[in-house]
Amino acid sequence: MPDAPLYERVAFIGLGLIAGSMAHAMRRGGLVGETVGTARSADTRDVAREIGLVDRVVDSAAEAVEGADLVVLAVPVGAMGGVAEEIGPKLAPGATVTDVGSVKRAVIEAVGPHIPEGVHFIPAHPLAGTEHSGPRSGFATLFDNRFTLIVPSEGSDRDAVGRLETLWQGMGAHTEEMDADHHDLVLAVTSHTPHLIAYTMVGVADDLRRVTDSEVIKYSAAGFRDFTRIAASDPTMWRDVFLHNKDATLEILGRFTEELFALQRAIRTGDGDQLFDYFTHTREIRRGIIEAGQDTDAPDFGRAKTK
């Protein structure tokens, strides 16, 4: 535990999986003094109070940020501009505002104009999550050994950036800094397009009436089963991701379509050598992910054993 809290008061705007996991991880590490939270839904606020997710739950974003030296925007990307406009006048001088959104350029453009002078805006993105959402879904170890990308703008206060990075490291994450546009392209490759493909594949299975619903469920092998896990993610969040990272996602989708056409041609023409070489190359990428400690090579695809 640190000798003194990194932040005296942290305000969470939004109380879902990421904010809840941050609150648990902060408590585990003794990283902050007080946590305050709010959510748009009264039901969410009631659950957060019931389970003691944060130290105090309040009814509005403006109330939550009063006196906070760190404010975490943990709402869908499309809602961040409106939240920033609401809290801007209430932010304490010297405070840091950060976010956990999966898109960065659109967030900077939406939030930045509402951040008053003397307040530090340092976007961030933890590369961790599950298909679950809501205040009961968070857990303290979500960020352990995962990366959080910090996206400071030119001229950002280095002390404020370093303090935020130290917080994320205290929550178990590795941190790296990245430019906003490069972040959005990287995430289009590693997260956004794979999610879109998963949604599409599950939709295709639903459309194939030659395969009954019971067969799809009963005979789901690992590939399709993992697609359904991804496709179970929060629809509001992913709708906003695609609308606000449109250019990068469309670029990667174009590349994906070209690759898919090449594989179709190889299958049609019986070009086994091309298929073998392609699959060998992609297997090496998988091995690189395992070697980087970002997944396990266990044959159960990293799932916990069922008791």
- The DSSP string of 210-252 is TS-HHHHHHT--HHHHHHHHHHTS-HHHHHHHHHHSHHHHHHH
> Which residue ranges does the chain devote to CATH 3.40.50.720?
7-178
Strands (E) located in 106-244: 120-121, 124-126, 147-150, 174-177
What size, in residues, is the chain?
A: 307
Q: What is the pLDDT of residues 9-36, one digit of tens each?
A: 999 999 999 999 999 999 999 999 999 9
Give 149's strand partners: 125, 176
Q: Are 171 and 127 in contact (CB under 8 A)?
A: no
Question: What gap in Å lies between CA 140 and CA 261, rounded to an integer?
Answer: 43
Q: Are 168 and 7 in contact (CB under 8 A)?
A: no
Q: What is the pLDDT of residues 164-214, one digit of tens each?
A: 999 999 999 999 999 999 999 999 988 888 888 888 877 777 666 555 556
Q: Are 19 and 101 in contact (CB under 8 A)?
A: no
> Which residue ranges does the chain devote to CATH 1.10.3660.10?
182-270
Fold of 7-178: Rossmann fold (3.40.50)
CATH class, domain 182-270, is: mainly alpha
Q: What percent of the chain has pLDDT over 90?
A: 66
Question: What gap in Å lies between CA 196 and CA 188, rounded to an integer?
Answer: 10
Q: Whole-angstrom distance between the N-terminal and C-terminal Cα of the chain?
A: 34
- In sequence order, the 6+-apart residues with CB closer than 8 A to the CB of 145 are 172, 173, 174, 293, 294
Instruction: From 187, 87, 104, select the one nearest 147 (Cα to Cα).
Output: 187
Least confident of 11-20, 130-139, 226-235, 289-298: 289-298
pLDDT (mean) for 110-120: 96
Q: What is the pLDDT of residues 267-297, one digit of tens each?
A: 999 999 999 998 888 888 878 877 777 776 6
